[in-house]
Amino acid sequence: MSDAAVQKGVPFCRPDVSAAEVEAVAETMRSGWITTGPKVKKFEEAFAAEIGAPWAVAVSSCTAALHVSLVATECGAGDEVITTVNTFTATAATIIQAGAKPVLVDIEEDTFNMDPLAVERACTVRTKAILPVHLGGHPCEMDRIGTLAKSHGAAVIEDAAHSLPASFRKKSIGAISDLTCFSFYATKNLTTGEGGMITGIDPAMRDRVGLIGYHGMSRDGWRRYLDKGSWYYEIVEHGFKYNLTDMAAAMGLLQLERLASMQKRREAIVAAFDSAFADLDALILPRARPHVGHAWHLYIIRLRDGALRIDREGFIRALADRGIGTSVHFIPLYRHPFYRKALGAEPSSFPVAERVFASCVSLPLFSAMTDEEMSTVIAAVRDVVKANRR
Ligand SMILES: Cc1ncc(COP(=O)(O)O)c(C=O)c1O
């Protein structure tokens, strides 16, 4: 390992941006059309083809995608939407934004995903949708969730912010449920800086999410600025302004072309971590269930209870001292003052999430990681474990 690598350390994430992407964005900026237009349309078509979904509609973020999807499936006042307690605030905040009530459920100990048994217990006559989050890229148990939703007449809206590309029983995430929401935020497996995509099965839903995500205006409203377009438009729904720009789509199109190779790099890093940490019994390593294709957005390890002289905070600090960026996914929602107050959610109702939260650390995992950086992470983790073993 060179001194430069040691000095520089390894950030938690660095976006994987190619020179061709920089040029494509610059070319779009010079083209005279920088907001939603032909590049967005092309990106939607290419994304749907990649997933094997009948359609895809681009939006400005996964948060926007979730909000539009909840409104499109008519989740509103008096309705309940079941989701996981272990997620980013956007998952639950958009349920509240739509006017419905988030019903939080506990997670599985090995995947950190919503526990289907807890979902079953949470279903009521008011359940309007189930909103699974594929944490870190490991798909939830979609057959059980789909069956539960069907038996309660509820929609399934997937939060796939972490799960591109991923699959469940050989079916791509994005081609399974009513609606699936992806994120192209700076840290995600495919990024456009900020951005999102909704995919779906029902062709009628495509027009509906297109309307709701663009002022409630006819889907091709942007065409009114083109030569072929007309000045006339009608607002037919209550809508929001959640469109993606052509600059972002230009980047997304090229990211999509590199998705398979970026994914291969993530998998190689995961394989290297798995083998380098296999003998460290103080760590519990992430595992993919055999029937899923894992997107490996995150590599989440857990510290085995009582195995080290330091706690999770100490572990994070020791890695930071060695220049390694880490994160925690997630602070369970009930630990945030807002959700505690708004939903009356208490830690005692979520024993698995509490245990996982106390012991989990996300290590750096990004496709632009060099071999040298990978070795730096491995050496630092091994060093911290060895130095603090009981
Ligand atoms: C699980 C999950 N859902 C939703 C989001 C929101 O995504 P975006 O930043 O694209 O709005 C994130 C963002 O990190 C996330 O981690």
For residue 216, pLDDT beyond 90: yes
**pLDDT, tens digit (0-9, with 9 covering 90-100), for 232-253:** 889 999 999 999 999 999 999 9
For residue 291, pLDDT beyond 70: yes
Ligand 1 and 68: CB distance under 6 A: no
For residue 321, pLDDT beyond 70: yes
- Looking at residue 376, what is its pLDDT? 98
Longest dimension (CA), the chain: 73
**Class of residue 250 by CB neighbours under 10 A (exposed 0-12, middle 13-18, buried 19+):** buried
- Looking at residue 230, what is its pLDDT? 76
For residue 5, pLDDT beyond 50: no
Name the closest-CA residue to atom 8, ligand 1: 62
**pLDDT, tens digit (0-9, with 9 covering 90-100), for 51-98:** 999 999 999 999 999 999 999 999 999 999 999 999 999 999 999 999
For residue 4, pLDDT beyond 80: no
- Looking at residue 374, what is its pLDDT? 98
- Looking at residue 219, what is its pLDDT? 53
Q: Is 69 helix (H, G, I), strand (E, B) or coil?
A: helix
12, 59, 60, 62: which to mutate for ligand 1, most atoms within 8 A of CB?
A: 62
- Looking at residue 231, what is its pLDDT? 81
Alpha-carbon distance of 327 to 189, in angstroms, equals 16
Ligand 1 and 95: CB distance under 6 A: no
Q: For residue 253, which amino acid is it?
A: L
137's tokens: 């890229």
CB 200 within 8 A of CB 73: no
Residue, of 211 and 2, whose pLDDT is higher: 211
Contacts of 145 (CB under 8 A, 6+ apart): 114, 116, 119, 130, 132, 156
For residue 220, pLDDT beyond 80: no
Atom of ligand 1 nearest to the CA of 196: 10
Alpha-carbon distance of 293 to 260, in angstroms, equals 13
Please count the other Cβ atoms lying within 10 Å of the Cβ belonging to residue 382.
15
- Looking at residue 19, what is its pLDDT? 98
- Looking at residue 139, what is its pLDDT? 98
60, 70, 88: which to mutate for ligand 1, most atoms within 8 A of CB?
A: 88
Whether 188 is a known active-site residue: answer yes
Q: Please, which residues bridge with residue 168 across strands?
A: 171, 292
For residue 7, pLDDT beyond 60: no
Alpha carbon separation from 240 to 68, 75, 180, 211 (Å, rounded): 8, 16, 18, 9
Alpha carbon of 167 to ligand 1 centroid (Å): 19
pTM of the predicted model, to two decimals? Answer: 0.96
**pLDDT, tens digit (0-9, with 9 covering 90-100), for 157-202:** 999 999 999 999 999 999 999 999 999 999 999 999 999 999 999 9
- Least Cα distance to 179 among 153, 147, 201, 207 occurs for 201
Query: What number is the average pLDDT over the span 348-362?
Result: 97
Ligand 1 and 94: CB distance under 6 A: no
The catalytic position among 188, 241, 264, 386 is 188
Secondary structure element (H or E) that encloses residue 361, with its range: strand 360-363
Contacts of 276 (CB under 8 A, 6+ apart): 378, 381, 382
- Least Cα distance to 217 among 201, 229, 202 occurs for 229
Q: For residue 339, which amino acid is it?
A: Y
Secondary structure element (H or E) that encloses residue 274, with its range: helix 259-277
- Least Cα distance to 332 among 114, 88, 117 occurs for 88
Alpha carbon of 91 to ligand 1 centroid (Å): 7
